[in-house]
């Protein structure tokens, strides 16, 4: 982060930049891991704050949820823009959203990236079918949009869910600046462009650093549909480049 923050500042991106980190990469799995991860996450937040960037704590498998939410709540005391991720497929998430909604006010809302969830979990702790996950995701969208103390960040490439978010936001009286969509770089750029052109706030999630490639491939592999979207986008981009090169030649 000490390297990323200055570069974001130099590029003039800090007003819109969000840095996402996994707590497991900050020591959460070690002995006294929660204390270690909090200390390191605080350093990341402090570095981001020097250039005006925001930090969001990624969510991992279900046993890390309490630690991630606890660390997020602690960090928001000094860094109010720190975000958390919640996964719709986990059965506990609706309760977690309700708790967060009661804990924060409109003046200082908690930033929540809401995803469907990519970790393979047991049926005891997670919904397994697509229909169940989609229904849970919609219920979560309703909760997020109606809670003044939460800022929804919908992390999905599912146009049906994004369109549902538009309807829910309108019903809740949210402006386009009071919530946002978040999509992976290279996956459904058509959706990104369409919603941005319509005036929605759209954030593109870009892997960064030496290990960006294996990370990106893991994200694609987690959901085969994402890989299909990416390959179609890549094919379309290559065709466009070929056409442009031919016209120039």
pLDDT in tens, 166-190: 999 999 999 999 999 999 888 889 9
More confident residue, 156 or 224: 156
Q: Which is catalytic among the residues 42, 76, 111, 113?
A: 113
113 classed as catalytic? yes
Integer CA distances (angstroms), 54 to 5, 6, 39, 47, 195, in order:
10, 14, 17, 10, 22
Residues 227-231, mean pLDDT to the nearest whole number: 55
In this predicted model, what pLDDT tens digit does every residue of 54-98 receive, in sequence order? 999 999 999 999 999 999 999 999 999 999 999 999 999 999 999
Q: Which is catalytic among the residues 58, 91, 92, 223?
A: 58
Express as a percent the part of the chain with pLDDT over 90: 68
58 classed as catalytic? yes
| Confidence at residue 229, expressed as pLDDT on a 0 to 100 scale | 54
| Confidence at residue 242, expressed as pLDDT on a 0 to 100 scale | 54
In this predicted model, what pLDDT tens digit does every residue of 117-169 receive, in sequence order? 988 899 999 999 999 999 999 999 999 999 999 999 999 999 999 999 999 99
Express as a percent the part of the chain with pLDDT over 70: 82
Alpha carbon distance 139, 135 (integer Å)? 6
Residues 103-123, mean pLDDT to the nearest whole number: 95
pTM of the model: 0.85
| Confidence at residue 236, expressed as pLDDT on a 0 to 100 scale | 58
| Most confident option among 2-11, 142-151, 216-225 | 142-151
């Amino acid at each position: 982060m000490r390297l990323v923050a200055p570069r974001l500042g130099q590029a003039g991106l800090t007003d819109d930049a969000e840095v996402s980190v996994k707590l497991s990469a900050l020591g959460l799995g070690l002995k006294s891991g929660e204390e270690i991860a909090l200390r390191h996450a605080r350093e990341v937040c402090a570095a981001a704050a020097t250039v005006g960037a925001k930090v969001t704590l990624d969510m991992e498998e279900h046993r890390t949820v309490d630690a991630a939410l606890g660390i997020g709540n602690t960090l928001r005391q000094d860094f109010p823009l720190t975000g958390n991720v919640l996964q719709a497929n986990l059965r506990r998430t609706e309760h977690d959203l309700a708790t967060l909604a009661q804990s924060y006010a409109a003046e200082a809302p908690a930033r929540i990236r809401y995803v469907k969830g990519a970790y393979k979990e047991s049926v005891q702790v997670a919904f397994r079918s697509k229909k169940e996950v989609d229904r849970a995701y919609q219920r979560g969208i309703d909760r997020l949009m109606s809670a003044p103390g939460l800022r929804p960040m919908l992390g999905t490439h599912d146009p049906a869910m994004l369109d549902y978010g538009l309807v829910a936001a309108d019903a809740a009286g949210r402006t386009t600046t009071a919530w946002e969509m978040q999509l992976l770089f290279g996956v459904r750029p058509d959706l990104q462009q369409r919603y941005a052109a319509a005036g929605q706030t759209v954030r593109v999630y870009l892997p960064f650093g030496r290990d960006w490639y294996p990370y990106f491939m893991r994200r694609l592999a987690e959901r085969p549909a994402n890989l299909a979207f990416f390959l179609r986008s890549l094919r379309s981009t290559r065709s466009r480049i070929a056409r442009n090169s031919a016209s120039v030649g």
